[in-house]
Amino acid sequence: MSEHTELPVAQDWFAIEAADENGVRRVRETHVHEYGGGSMWLVEGAERALLVETGIGVAPLRAFVETITDKPVIAFASMGYYDHAGGLHQFDERWIHANDAHRVEQPDRINTAAQWYLDGAFAALPHADFDPASHVMPASQPTRLLHDGDVIDLGDRQFRVCHLPGVTSGASALFEDGTGVLFTGETLVWDGDFVYDGEPVERTNDADREAFRTSMERLLALPATAVYPGHFGRGDLAAMRHAIQGYLTGVNASKGENTYAT
């Protein structure tokens, strides 16, 4: 008998927080541990809504989002890992950087990092026959391949794509020049001053520590006023900058191997 058969089946999978002063709302998969899942962020513009990250994709995310907004939704994944692009297949507009598109088109448990984090990430199951130990996120074809400098236009709000390779070759953030709102995706995940810099190189063929360092320098230079990472809720801007500076000066490296999830 699988250990997962003893977990309860959840009745309500998603929750959404009230909009903050920047009009950003956090969507959570409430039965997924933070280390194995992450944060999704919903922003409504005058003409379109933007969903930043799409979670694991094991429950009807699109149906839930459509109870919140009646605007057409652009679903953006900051990278192709299972907890960022897992629900991408549910949406009509599926946007991701071109360098991570292969993970969405031909996902497996290795190239999406599910092999190391998905099993054991759940406090409840989305349905009775779900098995985290064998789940592979559904494949889909991105409808737009993004590149550095591309703009996601919601009508009255515009988010610029910042290509930040390192964790993967296609990892990206979104920055709103008019407000300073920054969605960092997987590129910035930290606990105090400890920066997660991606999977060990033996697990992936496109991790690049030198590129990651350059991406950290670019993040630090952005005139951000609010930061929304791919994990652990809204971040503290001062803590973000402290974490990046610590990484760049070698403080992070003295803490040993990072074990944070995707």
Please write the tens of the pLDDT for every residue from 174-221: 999 999 999 999 998 865 556 778 887 778 888 899 999 999 999 999
Q: What is the CA radius of gyration of the chain?
A: 17
- Pairwise pLDDT comparison (258 vs 6), residue with the higher score: 6
- Pairwise pLDDT comparison (2 vs 25), residue with the higher score: 25
- On whether residue 89 sits in a domain, the answer given is yes
What CATH number is given to the structural domain containing 104?
A: 3.60.15.10
- On whether residue 260 sits in a domain, the answer given is no
Name the pLDDT band for 251 (thresholds 50, 70, 90): low
- Pairwise pLDDT comparison (6 vs 2), residue with the higher score: 6
pLDDT of residue 177: 97
What's the mean pLDDT in 137-142?
97
Segments forming the whole domain that contains residue 94: 3-255
- On whether residue 169 sits in a domain, the answer given is yes
Distance CA 242, CA 87 (A): 32
Token pair recorded at residue 34: 């933070």
Please write the tens of the pLDDT for every residue from 108-132: 999 999 999 998 899 999 999 999 9
Distance CA 95, CA 78 (A): 9
- On whether residue 262 sits in a domain, the answer given is no
How much is the pTM? 0.92
pLDDT of residue 200: 77
pLDDT of residue 202: 78
DSSP codes of every residue in the chain: --GGGGSPBPS--EEEPPP-TTSEEEEEETTB-TTTS--EEEEE-SS-EEEE-----SS-HHHHHTTT--S-EEEE-SSSSHHHHTTGGGSSEEEEEGGGHHHHHS--TTTTSHHHHTTT-BSSBSSTT--TTT--PPP---SEEE-TT-EEE-SS-EEEEEE--SSSTT-EEEEETTTTEEEEETT--EETTEE---S-GGG-SS--HHHHHHHHHHHHHS--SEEEESSSSSBPHHHHHHHHHHHHTTTGGGG-------
State yes or no: pLDDT of 2 exceeds 80.
no
Name the pLDDT band for 256 (thresholds 50, 70, 90): very low
Total domains present in the chain: 1
- On whether residue 197 sits in a domain, the answer given is yes
What's the mean pLDDT in 142-158?
98
pLDDT of residue 192: 55
Least confident of 101-115, 164-178, 240-254: 240-254
What's the mean pLDDT in 41-58?
98
- On whether residue 11 sits in a domain, the answer given is yes
Distance CA 112, CA 204 (A): 9
Mean pLDDT of the chain: 91
- On whether residue 123 sits in a domain, the answer given is yes
State yes or no: pLDDT of 255 exceeds 90.
no
- On whether residue 261 sits in a domain, the answer given is no
